[in-house]
Amino acid sequence: MSLRLPLVALALMALAPAMPALAQHAHDTHAPAAVTIGNIEIKDAFTRATLPNAPVAGGFMTLTNKGSEDDRLVSVETPIARQGQIHEMAMEGDVMKMRQLSDGLLIPAGESVALAPGSYHLMFMGLTGSVAEGDAVPVTLTFEKAGTITIDLPAGGSAAAAPAHGEGH
């Protein structure tokens, strides 16, 4: 009995710093936690449901380099597509087009790079099936320095502009 009170007190103290965040995001019961590999933090990852027979799907997330050296996302693979590519949007004449980044995507030291609809994104080429809202699509990311990690991208609706349960948008 004499041990119980101190343990409860410790548990409360441990929880206390997290409580304002919990209260603020009380609705985000399914919020994907940030994932870290090496110095790279991956947050707010998501994909979008595809229309029937769509040939491609996109992948979106925020990558933050917490290290003191630049890193680079160099490749992406997923079992739902024959090939994963890293794309940017760029003007070609008057037309905004997407283009593969053959040298990968630079993530400068200390900075965040957002992969978002209309901007940098992952592109899954040659889908072998369709993506339905609520699916979790496994994606393997390889960084030049941080290494390789597989994460699940939760699928939002076909027009989702942000993770369905993301934070603070």
Greatest Cα-to-Cα distance within the chain, rounded to the nearest angstrom: 76
**Shortest separation between residue 100's beta carbon and Cu ion, angstroms:** 8
* Closest to Cu ion by CB, 90 or 109: 90
134: alpha, beta or left, given left = phi > 0 and alpha = psi -120 to 50?
Answer: left
**Shortest separation between residue 8's beta carbon and Cu ion, angstroms:** 53
* Closest to Cu ion by CB, 98 or 139: 98
d(CA 155, CA 136): 6
> For residues 122 and 59, is the Cβ–Cβ distance under 8 A?
yes
* Closest to Cu ion by CB, 146 or 155: 155
> For residues 25 and 19, is the Cβ–Cβ distance under 8 A?
no
**Shortest separation between residue 47's beta carbon and Cu ion, angstroms:** 12
d(CA 76, CA 142): 6
- Residue 65 phi, psi (nearest 5): -95, 105
Binding site for Cu ion (CB under 5 A): 87, 98, 123
* Closest to Cu ion by CB, 40 or 98: 98
**Shortest separation between residue 58's beta carbon and Cu ion, angstroms:** 6
* Closest to Cu ion by CB, 110 or 126: 126
**Shortest separation between residue 99's beta carbon and Cu ion, angstroms:** 8
d(CA 52, CA 144): 35
Q: CB-based burial of residue 14 (10 Å sphere; 0-12 exposed, 13-18 middle, 19+ buried)? A: exposed
